[in-house]
Structure 1
Amino acid sequence: MQRISSLAELDHWKGLLPGDTLGFVPTMGALHEGHLSLVNMSLERGDKTLVSIYVNPTQFNNPEDLVKYPKTLEKDLKMLEVVGCDAVFLPTAEMLYPEGLKSRAFSFGFLGLHMEGAKRPGHFEGMATVVTKFFELIQPDFAIFGEKDYQQLCIIRHVVAGENWPVKIVPGPTVREEDGLAMSSRNLRLSEVERAEAASIYAVLSKACKEAESFNSVAELKSYCMEALNAVPSLSVEYIECCDEKELQPVRELDPKSPTRLFAAVQCGNVRLIDNLPLF
């Protein structure tokens, strides 16, 4: 596996790939099986796969969250080598932000109005800034993004379409622990008790989805989820939302004929966790 630490090394490595289909998986490190599933998807789909590891400061609206974000670089590199990743790009802030750490302006339409867009101001601008910078430098044929961050996935698709980036965005299904908890780098920060109680997030959301047609209204379904989750000692609900899959606008009624997803952001101790599941 090629370890790339400069723009010159990146250009040299790309120059050795004429005609090869290049897949790209952006990460912030602290890798887990969810990340590796995306890497494996890329390996199966293309000729070469490049993974980036970069903790992007501009997408953290909470400075404490940035400081505490897990960093396990040597372990990450070993995991990528084992699965057969072709190259890993380890950029510095100076490479990606030569004019300083500043996000550029985007128009996300309706996609950024609710949920993470409302609760984490500047997050999606920072994320889209670094992703488009990666697209510019790496020039992949396709890039893979996990459905756990479903709103992010939708926003990247929107940016790619709106700015005519020649890269195909491929979704990767959420990978879960045995008890249903969505795999996340932030899970490493949970205490033993918090980790056990965090499994309630999936348990409650999946029960609501399975029994969706038994609820009389969106408000009733959301209320059930909030009450069930807030009853768990370690958990505090930030939001529960039912949104259409395309524009991510909150739905007014439960319609099995309309593709809809159930979203949640939950504070577990000092760690903020998000998840989503298809409702209809």
Structure 2
Amino acid sequence: MSIIKTIENLEAWLTDADHRNRTLGLVPTMGYLHEGHCSLIRAAKADNDLVVVSVFVNPTQFAPGEDFESYPRNIERDYELAVDSGADIVFNPEAGEIYVQGASTAVEVSGEITKKLCGASRPTHFKGVTTVVNILFNIVRPDKAYFGQKDAQQALIIKKMVRDLHMPVEVIVCPIVREKDGLAMSSRNIYLGPEERKQAVCLNCGLQKALEYLNSGSDDSRSVRKLIEVIENHIKGQDLAIIDYVRILDGETLEEITDIEPGKTALAAVAVKFGKTRLIDNRVLSVEVR
């Protein structure tokens, strides 16, 4: 198997007699694969006959001044990891293959779901995400597509796009994969210096402390305001951490909530900068049934 670079060659592979009428899973990535991506590929392989992994650093989801040019790339390494994890094809197109000359069409999910969290500081980001995912769905035509819970807002937005546009694809969201010390795996982790890397575990630790406090039985344990305070206080204990946001919102709609009610889920989401590196993490919070 080789890396496929063009839509024409991918179409030929997909319509080959050996591949027709078989279930197909798609794992869209921006490359520089790690164990988090590999877990998605393995999940796709367990559910489907064939798996396509796309490796495409999408320029339209980067704003001016963000790290598009420096974003880590290593297609040979990505190919090996993808194949070892169960991929049947690695699709690695150039930008001109995805965005045809003169392209001016975009797909955008509107409303509060795209304006909060990362959407507040990166207002064009999710428009780029939904546009490229829509293009990939049209090219690959998968039965199922796999995304990671680490990008929780992105997963919710893509699920809404699929639902709103009646797209014939099932979106599967897989759990966050973490390093041994709890740091969520991310391609951007390589940017961290030694001390920044040591302190970065505060994201996961802060989220864990919120979950523990939620189920502590304290009078204000279900208060969103208090839970945010718990997370912020832990992160602020690291001198290199600069908080972008700490939010707790409805786990499905990202609407504002004041308390976490039994039987409901909330999404606790954080974004924190260490130097020039911006990391995100999240935890689904729910009240334990006693």
Q: Secondary structure at the match of 2:156?
A: helix
- After superposition, where does 1:1-280 map in structure 2 within 5 Å? 1-16=1-16, 17-100=19-102, 104-213=106-215, 214=218, 216=220, 217-280=223-286
Change (3 A) 1:222 1:101: farther
User: Contact 1:28–1:55 (CA<8 Å) still a contact in 2?
Assistant: yes
Q: Which SS does the other structure have where 1:98 is aligned?
A: coil
CA contact (8 A) 1:38 1:146 kept: yes
SS in 2 for 1:159: helix
CA positional deviation for 1:6: 1.0
Segment drifting more, 73-82 vs 125-134: 73-82
Structure 2: how far apart are the matches of 1:251 and 1:176? 28
**Does the CA contact (< 8 Å) of 1:58 and 1:103 recur in 2?**
no
More helix by share: 1
Seen in structure 2, the aligned counterparts of structure 1 residues 102 and 265 have a Cα distance that, compared at 3 Å, is farther
Q: Is the 8 A contact 1:58 1:101 kept in 2?
A: no
Question: What displacement does 1:61 show?
Answer: 2.1
Aligned with 1:175: secondary structure?
coil
- What is the aligned length? 280
* Residue 26 to residue 278, structure 1, CA distance change in 2 (3 Å): same
For the structure 1 residues 82 and 9, does the alpha-carbon distance in structure 2 shift closer, same or farther, using more than 3 Å as the test?
Answer: same
Question: 1:58, 1:102 within 8 Å by CA — same for their partners in 2?
Answer: no
8 A Cα contact 1:245 1:259, kept in partner: yes
- Amino acid corresponding to residue 110 of structure 1 in structure 2: E
Question: Residue 221 and residue 263 in structure 1: after superposition, are their counterparts in 2 closer, same or farther (change >3 A)?
Answer: same
For 1:95 and 1:3, locate their aligned partners in 2 and report how far apart those are by CA, in whole Å: 15
List per-residue Cα deviations over 1:34-60 (Å, max 9, x = no partner): 000000000100000000000001101
* Residue type of the alignment partner of 2:5: S
Give yes or no for contact 1:2–1:86 (8 Å, CA) kept in 2: no
Alignment partner of 1:240: what SS?
Answer: strand
Q: For 2:51, give the aligned amino acid.
A: T
- Please give the secondary structure, in 2, of the residue aligned with 1:267: strand
Name the SS of the counterpart of 1:66 in structure 2: coil
Find runs of 4+ consecutive structure 1 residues off by over 4 angstroms: 100-103
CA distance in structure 1 between the aligned counterparts of 2:104 and 2:264, rounded to whole angstroms: 38
Distance 1:103 1:222, change over 3 A: farther
Task: Encode CA deviations 1:45-85: one digit per residue, 9 max, x unaligned.
Answer: 00000000000011012433212211122111111122231
- Of stretches 66-75 and 29-38 in structure 1, the one that deviates more from structure 2 is 66-75
TM-score after normalising by structure 1? 0.95
Equivalents in 1 of 2:176, 2:60: separation in Å? 25
Secondary structure of 2:37's aligned partner:
helix
Report the TM-score when normalising by structure 2: 0.92
Percent identity reads: 38
Cα separation, 1, equivalents of 2:177 and 2:140: 26
- Counterpart CA distance in 1 for 2:271 and 2:22 is 40
Unaligned ranges ≥5, structure 1: none
Deviation at 1:171, TM superposition (A): 0.8
Which ranges of structure 2 fall in alignment gaps of 5 or more residues? none
- Report deviation, 1:231: 2.1
